[in-house]
Amino acid sequence: MTSPNIVWTRIDERLLHGQIRITWGKHSEANLILVANDDAADGPNAAFMQAGMKASAGGEYAVRFFSIQKTIDVIAKASAKQKIFILCNNPTDVARLVEGGVPILHCNVGNMHYHEGKRKLTKTVSVDDKDIEAFERIVKCDVTCTIQNTPDQKPIDILSVITETA
């Protein structure tokens, strides 16, 4: 069996929205956006969440909503024609994916908003201890994690920023 054609993986608290379609989707040349998120796939508001995200995709991409476990279970069955953009809203889910065998090589960190108990790393990325532990797990699996809000910005290694702001 061939490896799935994962062209981009991004953490964005907002999941699928216009910036993803307009900037990252085109940048990655994806044709399928896989929202890997338990709530969006099976949560009580899944239908509502999915409708909004499908509208944001503008019909330019096939869109799938899988739980983290389903993504782990079925990603190897993806067609070679599928250029997959995996979208998660937190680093713990990405850690679960890579630890579950999903062959992610790079994780782009976009928007993780400030909430009580988090510390600001950059204008668009704030983390707490759970997030830091998840990023460490991801990197331990040989996945590069960089903060980059838009493709024209210079990527910044997440662990170096965490260390600098500690």
Query: Which CATH number belongs to the domain containing residue 29 in this structure?
Result: 3.40.35.10
| Number of domains making up the chain | 1
34 burial via Cβ count (<10 Å: 0-12, 13-18, 19+): buried
**How much of the chain exceeds pLDDT 90, in percent?**
88
Catalytic residue of the set 17, 27, 106, 115: 17
pTM summary value: 0.95
Does any domain span residue 34? yes
Does the annotation count 17 as an active-site position?
yes
What is the mean pLDDT of the segment spanning 23-36? 95
Does any domain span residue 154? yes
Give residue 125's pLDDT band: very low, low, confident or very high (50, 70, 90): very high
1 pLDDT above the threshold of 70: no
Give residue 80's pLDDT band: very low, low, confident or very high (50, 70, 90): very high
Bridge partner list, 63: 33
The domain containing residue 31 runs over which residues?
6-165
Q: What is the pLDDT of residues 47-75, one digit of tens each?
A: 999 999 998 888 889 999 999 999 999 99
Does any domain span residue 82? yes
Amino acid at 79: S
Does any domain span residue 131? yes
Does any domain span residue 17? yes
Does any domain span residue 1? no
What does the pLDDT read at residue 56?
87
What is the mean pLDDT of the segment spanning 99-109? 98
Give residue 21's pLDDT band: very low, low, confident or very high (50, 70, 90): confident
Rounded to a whole number of angstroms, the distance between the first and last alpha carbons of the chain is: 43
Q: Order the strands of the 6-12 sheet from edge to edge.
A: 62-66, 32-36, 84-88, 6-12, 106-111, 144-147, 156-157
What does the pLDDT read at residue 10?
98
Does any domain span residue 104? yes
